[in-house]
């Protein structure tokens, strides 16, 4: 399975009225290497490179930032960045540290099952990569599911990571979990069990209450839950936000990525099954929704 992931280093600005203000900093090692952070991007989807890579774009006249498909100057990779095999989601924190999770492509040769629930961190100051936290993995029970950790999101308002785990699940068995992890002390704050999730996001709802948004890997639905006063998730507040069923070119996309931008909810959908072959090289479709205060629901604007 190929996860096309780019993390552009852009100026920090507040986009939408419901988005938590970005706090992520540019890793200091990018400048140490002699590159302009605003013209670089982190990638785990380079065809000829396994692991994490730093894409350096050519600066364009009258442009302030690169496009993902823009002309490239070079692609840099520290040798240690490929030691964890193929990788999937990327997120960064306010210190410029990078977090990522493993995900095999086609074969398990470079991604052993015993490491599928390991969260990795690349130090923002040095670029050194190491295992940051090892989550417990569910027993396989003979199921042919090669995935462990997949979804990943950093919450700027709390210095916490939200991480999803699909280990032990199959087409008929939902054994996954969503973890809430403190970055500073590496303590698990909460665990939401029996749910398989891909895309993860934390933002404020229409009442300025903080919620976790997550896309199911089993259906085309995106759900959310409120954060309670104790910092954990309020299970009783679970609600459906949007449903991609019947939309787009496939009609059954799963929400791989969730974000908000200028008042819009943007969901990136892909075809997903619990195997490597079926999900490999699948293109993304981006669905744009806007909140309707009268109907108190998200309304589809378009998809592309």
* DSSP state string for 155-212: ETTTTEEEEEE-TT--SS----EEEEEETTT--EEEEEES--EEEEEEEE-TTS-EEE
pLDDT at position 280:
44
For the stretch 109-156, pLDDT in tens is 999 999 999 999 999 999 999 999 999 999 887 667 899 999 999 999
CATH number for the domain spanning 145: value is: 2.120.10
Residue 41 located in a structural domain: yes
> From CA 285, how far away is CA 292, in angstroms rounded?
22
Residues 50-83: tens digit of each pLDDT: 999 999 999 998 898 998 889 999 999 999 999 9
The label of the residue with tokens 């190491």 reads 130
**pLDDT for residue 281:** 60
Q: How far apart are CA 48 and CA 50, in angstroms?
A: 7
Q: Quick one: pLDDT at residue 14?
A: 35
Burial string for 202-223 (b: 16+ CB within 10 Å, else e) reads bbbbeeeebbbbbbbbbbbbbb
In a domain, 296, yes or no: no
Structural domain includes residue 108: yes
Residue 286 lies in a domain: no
Mean pLDDT taken over the chain = 91
Mean pLDDT calculated for residue range 256-280: 84
> Cα dihedral angle (274, 278, 280, 282), rounded to 10 degrees?
-100
**In angstroms, how far apart are the furthest CA atoms of the chain?**
56
Count of the separate structural domains present in the chain: 1
- Alpha-carbon distance of 231 to 228, in angstroms, equals 5
Return left, alpha or beta for 93; rule: phi > 0 is left, psi -120 to 50 is alpha, else beta.
beta
Domain assignment present for 95? yes
* pTM exceeds cut of 0.85: yes
Domain containing residue 35 = 6-219
In a domain, 189, yes or no: yes
Rounded Cα distance, 106 and 207, in Å: 44
pLDDT score at 106: 83
Mean pLDDT of 241-254: 97
166 HSE (CA, 13 A, CB side)? 28
Q: Is residue 280 part of a domain?
A: no
| 155 in a structural domain | yes
């Amino acid at each position: 399975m190929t996860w096309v992931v780019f993390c552009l280093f852009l100026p920090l600005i507040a986009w939408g009225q419901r988005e938590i203000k970005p706090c992520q900093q540019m890793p200091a090692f990018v400048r140490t290497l002699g590159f302009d952070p605003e013209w670089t991007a982190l990638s785990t989807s380079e065809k000829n490179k396994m692991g994490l890579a730093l894409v350096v774009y050519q600066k364009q006249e009258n442009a302030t930032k690169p496009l993902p498909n823009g002309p490239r100057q070079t692609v840099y990779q520290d040798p240690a960045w490929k030691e964890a095999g193929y990788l999937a989601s990327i997120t960064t924190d306010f210190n410029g540290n990078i977090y990522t999770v493993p995900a095999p492509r086609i074969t398990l040769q470079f991604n052993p099952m015993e490491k599928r629930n390991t969260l990795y961190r690349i130090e923002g100051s040095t670029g050194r990569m190491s295992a940051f936290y090892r989550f417990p993995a569910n027993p396989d029970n003979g199921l042919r599911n090669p995935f462990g950790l997949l979804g990943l999101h950093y919450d700027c308002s709390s210095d916490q990571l939200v991480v999803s785990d699909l280990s032990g699940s199959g087409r008929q068995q939902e054994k996954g979990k969503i973890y809430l992890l403190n970055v500073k002390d590496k303590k698990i704050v909460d665990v939401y069990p029996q749910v398989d999730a891909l895309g993860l996001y934390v933002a404020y709802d229409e009442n300025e209450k903080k919620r976790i948004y997550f896309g199911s890997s089993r259906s085309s639905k995106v759900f959310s839950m409120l954060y309670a006063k104790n910092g954990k998730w309020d299970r009783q507040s679970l609600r459906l936000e949007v449903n991609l069923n019947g939309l787009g070119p496939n009609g059954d996309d799963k929400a791989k990525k969730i974000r908000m931008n200028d008042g819009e909810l943007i969901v990136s959908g892909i075809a997903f099954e619990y195997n490597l072959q079926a999900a490999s090289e699948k293109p993304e479709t981006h669905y744009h929704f806007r909140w309707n205060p009268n109907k108190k629901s998200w309304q589809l604007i378009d998809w592309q």
